[in-house]
Amino acid sequence: MNRTSEVHKVLVITLFLNLLVSGAKISYGFISHSVAISSDGFHSLFDGVSNVAGLIGVYLASHPADERHPYGHRKYETVFTIFIGMLMLFTCFEIFKGVYDSFAGRQTPIVGPESFILMAATTSVNIFVTLYEKRKGKELSSEYLKADARHTLSDIYVSLGVIVSLVLTEIGLAYADALAGAVVGIFVAKAGFDIIKESAETLIDKSQVNPSEIIQAAECVDGVVECHDIRTRGTSDSIFVDLHCLVHPDLSVNNAHGIAHRVEEEIKQKFPAIVDVVVHVEPATERKDEHVNQ
């Protein structure tokens, strides 16, 4: 089984578990009028949505570059990710509406043994998902799985906060449930804004690698006098690089091309996420003359 199929398998498994967890929380939250539990359910729901985006991304990433898309299809995943961020912001409206109704006394949460059993069970599932994705992310060198594992870890912290709110509600603090719901809403809003911000920066070709690291890798190749005008773009797991390299002016075209090829291989070896390197070769004296004239 190849890497793409393995990542796909992990995402399908975690998608099923996340939908199971979110469905249980949302359903029980509405039945018990618990804003904290239903809000946590919506928060968990976006783990499932994130898995769907991951599946789409993996599918699109498997398509090779073509004549109309010479740089591949990776940014389709970014577009879907922005959609998820916007959906999360819209969901915040429903969460804060429930918080308002709770503060206004329109609904009183019903806390019982079932509440604690549900939260304990779903938190256990989230712990399993976090450890599973983290392990598979390392095995498959998948940045997406590693990031999704960190996202699920945040769900565990939120769920623990909800459990604390249930305890406080049980001992008579009436607004604890609504406050916990508000905190979850803030978590969802922040995650939504962060997703949109990071994805937008990818779409406008934010630099993906520190230029000094590219220069260090290129200038260790024999024959390279200097490097400049380093540019990187793309996604974190599919990076495109172009740079200018100065070589001795007396070199033949064939030798200069050989140096450019070795620079490309050196950069790709040092940065596995880099999929393409374009090297523009310049004679070293030309660059030095420019410095003198300036």
- Domain residue limits, the chain: 3-203, 211-293
What contacts 233, CB < 8 A, 6 or more positions away? 205, 206, 207, 208, 239, 240
DSSP state of 62: T
Q: What is the CA radius of gyration of the chain?
A: 25
b/e per residue, 137-166, with b = 16+ CB within 10 A? beebebebbbebbebbbebbebbebbbebb
pLDDT at 242: 92
Question: What pLDDT shows up at residue 272?
Answer: 83
- % of the chain surpassing 70 pLDDT: 85
Please give the pLDDT value at position 186: 82
The rounded distance, in Å, linking the Cα atoms of 104 and 241 is: 56
Topology given in CATH for the domain delimited by 211-293: Alpha-Beta Plaits (3.30.70)
Distance CA 154, CA 170 (A): 25
Compute the residue count for the chain.
294
Residue 244: exposed, middle, or buried by beta-carbon count in 10 A (0-12, 13-18, 19+)? middle
| SS3 state at 15 | helix
224 vs 73: CA distance, rounded Å: 33
State both tokens at 147.
């990031």
The pLDDT value recorded for residue 291 is 45
Residue that is written with structure tokens 């249980």 in the block: 24
Please tell me the distance from the alpha carbon of residue 148 to that of residue 77, in angstroms, as a whole number: 14
Residue 253 CA to residue 238 CA, distance in Å, equals 30
Interacting residues of 118 by C-beta distance below 8 A, sequence separation 6+: 24, 25, 28, 37
Global pTM exceeds 0.75: no
Q: How far is CA 211 from CA 198, 218, 241, 244, 290, in A?
A: 20, 11, 10, 12, 22
Low-confidence ranges of the chain (pLDDT < 50): 287, 289, 291-294
- Is 1.20.1510.10 the CATH classification of the domain at 3-203? yes
Amino acid at 51: N
Report the pLDDT value the prediction gives residue 59, as an integer from 0 to 100.
Answer: 76
